[in-house]
Every structure is written in C-alpha cells, then in structure tokens.
Amino acid sequence: MSALTGSPRAGGVGQSARDSLIVARRNLRRMTRIPETILFGIIQPVMFVVLFTYVFGGSIAIPGAGVSANAYKQFLMAGIFAQTVTFATASSSAGIAEDMSKGIVDRFRSLPMARGAVLTGRTLADLVQTAVTLVVLAAVALLVGWRTHENIGKVLAGFGLLLLLGYAFTWIGALIGLSVRTPEAATSGGIIWLFPLTFISNAFVPVNGMPKVLQYVAEWNPFSATVAAARELFGNTIDGVPKSVTGAWPMEHPVWASLIWSVLITVAFRALAVRKYRRVA
C-alpha cells in the first residue's frame, strides 16, 4: 500500500525509524560516491578559521582582553563551529530539490514507507556529514591555538548542542528544498538567509559594539544562544565579556536556551516539511 493511504505499516514508530535509517544509508552511500561534496564542505569552514584567525584576530578588541589574537581565537571558534553546522542547511535544500527534480521523491512516495522517512533519512545523513566536518574543524582549530578549559563531558555536550542546532536547521533546509523548483534555487534559498542570521549575532564580534536595536536582535537570535552555550561548555568565556548587554534571558541561560530553540525549530519545521512533502506533486 502507498504511504499516502495511512496504512498501519507506514504509521508505526518502529517502521518509521527503520525506513528513515534505510533512506539515511542511501544518502550516506551517495555522499561517499561523490567525495568532492564532503571535501568542499570541509574546506570552506577551514578557510573561515584561517582567515578570521590570522586576518581579523589581531585587530578586533575583546572586552577584558583588548586586541589579542589569542583571546580572539578562544572567542571565535564556537562561532565558526556554529556557522559550519548551520550552513548544512544549504546541502539539505539542494539534495532534496535534486531528488525532487529527478523524480526520486515521487518514487519514494509510491512505496509503502513512513511518510516522513524520506526527509528524516536525509536530515540524519546530513547530520553525519556535519559531524565529520566538525571533527576535522576542531582538529584545525587546535592546530591554530584554540583550547578548551572544561572537562570532556562539558566539551562533548557543547559539540552536542552544536549538532542539535545543525540538525534543527536541516529541517528548514528540507522545507526550502520542497518549496523551490530547481536545485540551484534551493542552494541560493538555503544559504542566503543564513548570512544575516550568523553575522547579526555574538559569533564573530562582541554584541556590545552593535547598535542598540541589533543588540536585542543578536541576543534573541537562536544562533547566538548556541554560540554562547558552546563557549560556556568549552570554557572559552572571557571575564570582561558580559553574558548579556540587554538582559536577554537566552544569554543569561544559554545552554537551556540553545536546547529549547533547537527543539522548537526541529518540531515546527519538521511538521511543516512533512506537510509540504505530503502535498507536493
């Protein structure tokens, strides 16, 4: 029976999980057959690390530390990690749009499988690729002088929050991929909105230097919450940098805020993406 008929086979949680893992394996196998996709996905964030560290690191003042390349490295890396995981959105958008254009999604829709398995499988595969990229990026960060100052449990929790944010954003990418007509449009649509999101934040510069309106925007930005949480869990906070300049709750409680934002985004956009998947031709 078709997944669209609402059969018991397609509705069970166990069946949905199995179908999702099958689709995830299919996407991971395809990624390994196109290694340049993974390679370019790693090169871009590595370039950001090198450029921001050596070009801007000696010219940006950090409150409490002044203009210090070493202090900026500790401040910067959580922002680079967060930017990397959120940019996986573009990959999700383009991948799903490509499957749509080739009729692969229509073929999946005709099979007796869980309705959301195609999208869940795709987002899980992207999560694995993002995790691999994050491991390589962390190694590069260590080479340029970044260090953590907390126990291994907190450090792993920091990377876990980063991956959770990346997974949440891949659902936004899934919705974009289902909403556009071509993979090229999906690539542009999947990344263009990320630039204001990531730059109007606490990722690359302290928020206290921004205009007052942008300070509020930056400190209520879900991206900023995860960056602040990662800094706290990595032990990369700097004494002179206040948690919040506007008194925003997410900055005062960044770990909880990051978790809440990521779960809300995942739940909301998964529901929207699955609904769109059911309706799309």
* 277-281 own/partner pairs: CB under 8 Å, 24+ apart: 277/105, 277/109, 277/115, 277/116, 277/118, 277/119, 277/178, 278/4, 278/115, 280/100, 280/105, 280/178, 281/106
Mean pLDDT of 248-262: 96
- pLDDT one-digit tens code per residue, 157-201: 999 999 999 999 999 999 998 888 788 888 788 788 999 999 999
pLDDT for the residue 14: 79
- Of these ranges, 24-33, 62-71, 79-88, 95-104, the one predicted with the greatest mean pLDDT is 79-88
State how far the Cα of 108 lies from the Cα of 244, in Å rounded to an integer: 47
Q: How many CB atoms lie within 10 A of CB 154?
A: 15
pLDDT for the residue 205: 87
Whole-number Cα distances in Å, 40 to 35, 89, 133, 189: 9, 15, 10, 19
- pLDDT one-digit tens code per residue, 222-240: 999 999 999 999 999 877 6
Question: In terms of Cα–Cα distance, which of 195, 193, 211 is closest to 203?
Answer: 195
SS3 labels along 140-168: HHHHCCCCCCCCHHHHHHHHHHHHHHHHH
Q: Calculate the average pLDDT of the chain.
A: 85
Whole-number Cα distances in Å, 197 to 1, 8, 115, 214: 43, 41, 31, 11
| Global pTM value | 0.88
pLDDT of 117 > 80? The answer is yes
Question: Is 278 strand, coil or helix?
Answer: helix
State how far the Cα of 215 lies from the Cα of 235, in Å rounded to an integer: 23
Helices of type H across the chain: 8-11, 13-33, 35-51, 69-86, 88-101, 104-109, 117-143, 152-179, 183-191, 194-199, 212-219, 222-234, 249-252, 254-279
pLDDT for the residue 65: 61
State how far the Cα of 94 lies from the Cα of 114, in Å rounded to an integer: 22
pLDDT for the residue 124: 92
pLDDT of 7 > 60? The answer is no
